[in-house]
Amino acid sequence: MLTQIKPLFIPNSRNNRSVITLMIVLQVVVFLVIWFASKSTIFPTPVEIIKALGRLFQEQNLAYELWTSTWLCIKAMGIAIVISLLIAYATVIPFFKPIGFLISKGRFLTLVGLSFVFTQMTSGSSSLKTSLMVFGITVFFVTAMVSIIQSVPKYEFYHARTLRMNEWQVVWEIIVLGRLDQVFEVIRQTFAISWTMLTLVEGISRSEGGIGPLLLNQQKYLHLDAVFAIQFVILLIGILLDWGIGQMKEFFLPYSSLTVEK
């Protein structure tokens, strides 16, 4: 048994699945024991959180609010992916490089400060929230994609040119097709950003509901058990969607993990 546990503390070691599963179970059990034993007035107990979760589903229509927020995030993510990829791929043309540079710097702007501008540009609560989400996602997505494009080794371009490809073919083969696996990783990273951004955006415009207004209302009245229940649901849905994006990558691009050690 000791020989199986020892590799868990050695860098870059390989462990069989049963040992890893046991390790995770033990860590979760220790965490729960500490949580139950603590007498903190800030953190509610797991029992209180479970009871609050039941009340939220029955009285606050939590399932519908979750669907509203999830659909908003997915819709904004889809629009932002298309816009961001067009901008990022366009930066291979010198004329469009400054545009990509300026858009990437937009990640330092706050959505609260821009809400008035987007309110004037949009016609309703739904379009306002979608526009804010798309902007917030795009500035981070473009930044990551431009970095990927700029990090392509020169020898890949030289190799493509020796195969008598013109510059448009080089872009298609090396940058577009050759970096699709990294695009999926950028999608996973920016999705996590958008998921944490969601409650802020929904808090700016609460008329159509969502998980954001529900969370803010519970926090306003110091219903800490409900606040933690909603936070755990947000965490679980986020992990599930992140896993789904990873599975899509494995399905469409199975070759991408061939060179990965773990």
Q: What's 161's domain CATH number?
A: 1.10.3720.10
Query: Would you say residue 262 lies in a domain?
Result: no
Q: Domain check: are 147 and 52 in the same one?
A: yes
- For residue 249, give its domain range: 46-257
Residue 61 or 112, more confident: 61
The answer to whether 181 touches 256, Cβ cutoff 8 Å, is yes
pLDDT for 3: 65
Q: Looking at the predicted structure, is the pLDDT value of residue 75 above 60?
A: yes
Residue 4 or 35, more confident: 35
Q: Domain check: are 6 and 64 in the same one?
A: no
Q: Domain check: are 246 and 151 in the same one?
A: yes
Rounded to the nearest integer, the mean pLDDT of the chain is 88
Query: Would you say residue 125 lies in a domain?
Result: yes
Q: How many domains are contained in the chain?
A: 2
Q: What is the pLDDT of residues 172-218, one digit of tens each?
A: 999 999 999 999 999 999 999 999 999 989 988 888 888 999 999 99
User: What's the CA gap between 185 and 154, in Å, rounded?
Assistant: 22
Q: Looking at the predicted structure, is the pLDDT value of residue 249 above 70?
A: yes
Q: Domain check: are 154 and 208 in the same one?
A: yes
pLDDT for 165: 92
The confidence band for 109, taking pLDDT boundaries of 50, 70 and 90, is confident
Q: Domain check: are 82 and 176 in the same one?
A: yes
pLDDT for 5: 66
Q: Domain check: are 98 and 192 in the same one?
A: yes
Query: Would you say residue 147 lies in a domain?
Result: yes
User: What's the CA gap between 63 and 18, in Å, rounded?
Assistant: 35
**Average pLDDT, integer, range 127-142:** 94
Rg (CA), the chain: 23
Q: What is the pLDDT of residues 226-235, one digit of tens each?
A: 999 999 999 9
pLDDT for 33: 85
Q: Looking at the predicted structure, is the pLDDT value of residue 12 above 70?
A: no
Q: Domain check: are 29 and 76 in the same one?
A: no
Q: Domain check: are 30 and 68 in the same one?
A: no
pLDDT for 230: 94
Q: What is the pLDDT of residues 20-59, one digit of tens each?
A: 787 888 888 888 888 777 777 778 888 889 999 999 999 9
pLDDT for 35: 79
The answer to whether 185 touches 178, Cβ cutoff 8 Å, is no
pLDDT for 47: 86
Q: Domain check: are 228 and 144 in the same one?
A: yes
Q: How far apart are the first and last CA of the chain?
A: 23
Q: Domain check: are 20 and 56 in the same one?
A: no
Which residues lie closer than 8 Å to 118 by C-beta, 6 or more apart?
A: 128, 131, 132, 135
The answer to whether 186 touches 141, Cβ cutoff 8 Å, is yes
Q: Domain check: are 18 and 73 in the same one?
A: no
Query: Would you say residue 199 lies in a domain?
Result: yes
The confidence band for 116, taking pLDDT boundaries of 50, 70 and 90, is confident
Q: Domain check: are 176 and 202 in the same one?
A: yes
